Each structure stands twice: as C-alpha cells, then as structure tokens.
Amino acid sequence: MSDHISIWGELADVDHELRHVTVSLGDGGGVRTRVLRAGSGPDLVLLHGTGGHLEAYARDIAGLARNFRVTAYDMVGHGWSDLPDVPFTVDVLSDHLLGLMDALGIASAHLSGESLGGWVVAWTAAHHPERVERIVLNTPGNIANKPEVMSRLVASTTAAVEDPSDATVRARVAWLFHDKDMVTDELVDLRRAVYTRPGFRRAVDNILVLQDPVTRARFSWAPSWVGRIAAPTLLLWTDHDPTGGLDEAQMLLDWLPDARLHVITAAGHWPQWEKPGEFVEQHETFLLTVHTPVTAVRA
C-alpha cells in the first residue's frame, strides 16, 4: 500500500481547524483568507508557491504539529482566498502575511516558504525583522532570474488555467515533482478546482506579474536586501529542482548573514510532498535547537 492515500488521510489523525479569516490589506479592504491550523508550541507559518494552495503541505501538517502551532494558508489571489484585482507582487503578498498574523494574534513566528512563498518569507524577514524568528527557504526558485524559467512557468500555468483539461493541469502539477508517479488524480483535480474558480483567469495574470522582467526587477533577489536578513536561515534545496541548481543556493549562502544549506535528494520543487519525513525532521532540527550563528554551513 502506498504511504500516501489522500490529503484527508494525511490529516485524519491530527486535530486541526480549517476556516476563513478576514485579513486587512491596505486600501484593498478585507481579504477572506483560507487558513488551516494545527498543533501547539512555537508559531510556524507555511507559505505555498505560485498558483498554489495550503494543501501543498498536507503531508507535513501532522508531523510539524507535534512541536509547533502550524498555520498554513492560501495567499491572497490563490487557492480559496479572495481574488482582488491587484498585482500580487512580493510586497503585497508580504503585507497579506503580516495582516494574517495580526488577525490570528501572532506577534512573531518562524516562517517557512516554498518557491514564491520562500521569496515572500525572505522579503518579510528583510523588511519586518521584528515579526520573524527563524526562516526556512524551501526551493525558493530562480534566484538568478533566468528568462527560460519564467517563460516556462507562465506558459504552463496559463495553459492550465485557459484549458483546465486533465492533460494541461496534470502537466503543470507534474512540473513540481521529480517522481512523476506521485502526481495523483486528487492533486490534479484539486488544482483544477482552483483554476476554474470564477475570476481566476484574471487572478492568474495578477499572480504571474512577478514573471515579467520589468516588474520582477523591483523585487529580484539581490544582496542589497537579502543581506539585511538577520533571522537565522535554513536553505532547503533539492537535486532536481526545475527552477535552479545548487549554484543559486550558493548565491544565497554568500548573501545571507547567517545561513546553512541542506540538500534533499531524489526530489523536485516540492520536497515537502516527495520527502515529508526529511522535510519535517529538518524543520524540527533547525527551529528547535539552540542556535549557533554561522556564516555558511553546507549539509
């Protein structure tokens, strides 16, 4: 029997709460935001990637909830959160994160983000250090701003939203995985449900604005702001990430004041799904142990 049966199966034996909360977002008013919470202990907030949703962490919630008060959520313009007609740039996504923390009464937290979520986590740590304890950047994606990576992401995502057939949506989901056998019908159907929400065709253009080089230039990874991150940082990379190799991980190690690297093997852009045991273990080890500052450590 497979060790993964379904998303519900992953959550079946962990007490959790799934609800919507209203998050204030500047002049945009309240954003109805879908949130899943579980566990107790230090606060740990999980951020998904471009076009994603909180189920990206379904295989990790139970493990992380043993030691943390876990919050996973759909970022504004994603999943089943509201879809306001504004560009979802990194600063907007960061403001939404901080607004959610305010709504939930979280003064500061550990933050862990995958892909776009990692970008938002890093930006938040650099610009709002008082709200951040330690951070995990999980396959943060295309640190070097490669045009081919951006164009591939735009093409596959747009195709799946405009034609949400099994083939196009499955191709978009499969791009996240090294082991394509882990792409289940459930994941594909869930992503299709997001892509076919009323208003999502407009929303995806607002999501993909960060793949436009001109817009991206305002937020691109650079030592000028990455070097301001005081929070101890764990880089989680993989050996089959389609968005960037270990050379890009080394760039971040060079820029970050206090960072270490762990490479998860035989995984793609979603190690939290392909290697959940190792993903949870790395979070526990990094976030719960007494911190010794380092310049750069490669595990």
In a domain, 170, yes or no: no
Whole-model pTM: value is 0.96
Q: Give the tens place of pLDDT for each residue, 167-184.
A: 999 999 999 999 999 999
User: DSSP state, 231?
Assistant: S
**Per-residue pLDDT at 147 exceeds 90:** no
In a domain, 122, yes or no: yes
In a domain, 199, yes or no: no
In a domain, 60, yes or no: yes
By CB neighbour count within 10 A (0-12 exposed, 13-18 middle, 19+ buried), where does 48 fall? buried
**Per-residue pLDDT at 298 exceeds 50:** no
Average pLDDT, the chain: 94
Nearest to 274 by CA among 298, 240, 243: 240
In a domain, 104, yes or no: yes
Going by C-beta distance under 8 Å and a sequence separation of 6 or more, which residues neighbour residue 4? 10, 59, 182, 184
Distance between CA 4 and CA 58 in Å, rounded? Answer: 10
In a domain, 195, yes or no: no
The amino acid at 120: V
Among the residues of the chain, which ranges form H helices?
Answer: 7-11, 61-64, 90-103, 116-127, 147-162, 166-174, 185-195, 200-207, 213-216, 223-226, 246-255, 271-274, 276-288
Mean pLDDT to the nearest integer, 28-38: 91
For residue 110, what is the domain's CATH number? 3.40.50.1820
Confidence of residue 141 (pLDDT cuts 50, 70, 90): confident
Tokens 């892909």 appear where?
A: 115
Strand pairing category for 30-38 and 69-73: antiparallel
In a domain, 212, yes or no: no
Q: Are 97 and 122 in contact (CB under 8 A)?
A: no
pLDDT at 201: 96
In a domain, 135, yes or no: yes
Range of the domain at 111: 7-143+225-298
Q: Give the tens place of pLDDT for each residue, 216-266.
A: 999 999 999 999 999 999 999 999 999 989 999 999 999 999 999 999 999
Using DSSP's 3-state secondary structure scheme, residue 52 falls into coil
Q: How many domains is the chain built from?
A: 1
